[in-house]
Amino acid sequence: MNVANLYWYELIQFEQCGLASMGRWVSHKKNGEKRDMGYCSLKGVLPAICCSIILAGCGGGGDSGGGSSTPPVTTPPVTTPPVTTPPVTTPPVTTPPVTTPPVTTPPVTTPPVTTPPVTAIPDPASYTKLIDMPVGPIAKVQNVLIAADSNGNELNRISNHVSGDIAFRLLAKTQNKGGYVSQLGIAGHNITSRLTTNFEESVIPLSSISQKISGKSYDLSVSPDSWGQRRGEPREVLLITPADGDGYVGMGIWRLAVGQEMSFFGVQVVANSFAFGSETVGQGLNQIRSGDYAGMTAGFPMTKGDSVFFPFSPILAGAIKWTVDVESHKVRASIPGMVAKSMPSFIDTWNDIDSGTSASIASCEATIDIANNTFSCDLTSTSKNDIRGKLSGRFYGPNGEEMGGVLNYYYVSVLGQEERGVTAGFSLKLQ
């Protein structure tokens, strides 16, 4: 029996026996021939099972005589049972409450703020217009004096300037339209030139006319007496103020003669220019604006060789325009060639001053001292003549919209002598 037959035999034997036939004799008929297979027992079955498993692992094949083929072994599909993952239950996480301790902020103590006292800007009503000035002494008058000697009837030695104490007082006012001053008092002490001059208060009556100069109306108040008729007292007084006193600054000029006409040295002549009014004060000075200020200037000249009693140029007057620059604290001023005028009257008007004023003969740039409300500078010649002098002034009224002051200058000859001196007042208003 070859391996194939053995396999077949054992398989039949296994099949016939089964578990139910154990302990019985089994016979099998093959090809018409009955064969006894033997007694079924577990002992006989086990070898057959084992052999069958071995032969199955060896694969098919027939016997040497080309016998039967081995039927294919069908491997049943392996079914993998689904893996069921039990749900994972995450226990809830309980966060313990966080207790934040209270933050205690210490109290902040703010030191008291001390505000420096603010100087209030004066109300315009606190300034006094000229028309409302009270009768009495006039305070803070700016003035400058010059003097000249005479040899007989002619002026010869010019002194520009001389020192002296001059006092002014408003003695009486008029209710008439036009110049508000009807009487002005002037006193002088310690006027030091060749002759020391002192005079007690002189009462100067004034009458007024209105003139339009440089586009602005002015009251020109004039003393009626000739200055040469009374020695030792101011004569030829001229007070120039805004029309009807509607302004905050006025200016003027006067002169007098002292000594004996027939003396060896002759008569000494003293001339003075002045300005006064309601000055700008406090915070009002910080309100001064940059811009052009326009107005006029008028003064007395003293020229060597001129007549003592009938001078060739009794008065000089001119229109002026100056510039204020607040940022640089400067006043840029120029002095024009002025027009020779007589005392103003209804016959000799001053309306031609604008057209008669010529080009600048001197100029300067004054520095403004805000704290003290002053400005001043030394004049520099802008013409062929050697001119020397000084200018000083102040601001007047609310916010410094007006300015006024005095100036004096003289011409120097080629020999270094003063040939001519001028003292003049000025007043201007912001345009």
Indicate which CATH number applies to the domain containing 144.
2.40.160.90
Burial pattern 234-245, b for ≥16 Cβ within 10 A else e, equals bbbbbbbbbbbb
In the block, residue with structure tokens 């028309």 = 131
CA atoms within 13 A on the CB side of 128: 12
Mean per-residue pLDDT of the chain: 78
Q: Looking at 224-338, which runs of residues are DSSP E strands?
A: 235-242, 249-258, 268-277, 291-303, 315-325, 330-336
Per-residue pLDDT tens digits for 255-305: 988 776 545 456 788 999 999 999 999 999 999 999 999 999 999 999 888
Q: What token pair was written down for 334?
A: 């120029």
> Are 257 and 394 members of one domain?
yes
Terminal C-alpha separation, the chain? 151
Domain limits at 14? 3-58
With respect to residue 110, please indicate whether it lies within any of the assigned structural domains: no
With respect to residue 90, please indicate whether it lies within any of the assigned structural domains: no
pLDDT top residue among 26 and 191: 191
Mean pLDDT for 179-207 is 87
> Are 155 and 13 members of one domain?
no
Q: Provide the sign of the torsion angle of the four alpha carbons 129, 249, 328, 294, taken in this order.
A: positive
CB 297 within 8 A of CB 424: yes
With respect to residue 36, please indicate whether it lies within any of the assigned structural domains: yes
Q: What is d(CA 344, CA 296) in angstroms, rounded to the nearest whole number?
A: 14
Confidence of residue 326 (pLDDT cuts 50, 70, 90): very high
Of the three residues 41, 58, 75, the one that is the final residue of a domain is 58
Predicted model pTM:
0.70
Amino acid at 158: I
Query: How much is the pLDDT for 388?
Result: 92
CB 181 within 8 A of CB 174: yes
CB 279 within 8 A of CB 394: yes
Which of 57-71, 122-136, 227-241 shows the lowest mean pLDDT across its residues? 57-71
With respect to residue 217, please indicate whether it lies within any of the assigned structural domains: yes
Query: How much is the pLDDT for 101?
Result: 63
